[in-house]
Structure 1
């Protein structure tokens, strides 16, 4: 009897689990994971537009770059909007996920900041430089330093370079690899920090005024809406993309961010 009861309960639980997994998506709601600035701000701007089309946007804000992908890959959130193509490629490779880019929206020019020095020329020998600790953003930081002739990479086009890939470091810069979200908080403890614009804006830094060096408008690091392959043909996601790539959003970005965020469409 106990064995029969156990098998019955196990079957019921399995069926319940299957039912949950195959529950159809709410056609009137779309959940989107995003970092606070500028992604969630841009999403908040288009909420009224989508509401008029019968679509409620459920924006869930994260302060890291890992959980937004994890939760989309696990099906707990529909799509996300926070990352570049190189970052996604590294994440998929490291985690064995299969998320895809759906539509590019904007570029956040990556910048170098300092509270101790007024220019890169003033950096002393042995200066401490903080950069993101994951390959796509560390490569981006090192490419910017290469452009400014502070270092030289073995392959200047290596999008996932780390300090181990530096061929020449004439000033003997000392690199600290830290989580991207923490870089604004350590700005006063290092000589230079290479910071993603979303975190710079969140820390009340003005990239066009405060950065000692910054990527230009030709940066290849476009921020994408990302999701599973099935999201490409999801009518809710198509409405989201159309709203994000509208003339109204282009004007909003230009006015609110004054060059710190640049439309990619």
Structure 2
């Protein structure tokens, strides 16, 4: 499984263009830029087609031509810019299926040309499982709200990946929905760093990120061979977040980074 991190930042990115805090200033000095979180799997499955993701694919030396499946976690604009459907329709009539909770799919409908048949929009909800080409997809509940339901996704092929963004601490039934088979890659949000006053149950900080990973380990879903990667990082994190995450057995994702599941 080849996983390309198109974006690894929060809605406003890190550094924020509107901020000169120490965290943002340090990231500018280090020339590290994280744009809204988006992921491309094997060049065929695209998770969270946000406003900068398509251009980030090009910057990473990739394209989206072979994408046949789009998974949308929720309707917030940093995770879904439905204009990609219009732009794609100008140049391609390849079959494409977009899956997501009802509020996200509703945002997509106005961006399809009347009478088009190549793009299929499918509403999904937590607990559903479906097949998309060679990929087996499980919809997992998120502790997040976006005009209605938000979802996390488990993607299985020869390897397995969990995309857990955006979410607070595990929603009721989430670990059960993820299943019993171990994961090769976990992409999990870590938005608020040490700012315990901001989490509010809808996003994770360092403490709740660590607790969420520990719960995955206790359930047998994560082991020493699993790559646990923090995404949706914001300027509320310390510039030294990579070292903080390393102490938890995790790593900080970077835009344009390619991940491959570790050999078992």
Normalised TM-score (structure 1): 0.27
Higher share in helix: 1
| Structure having the higher Rg | 1
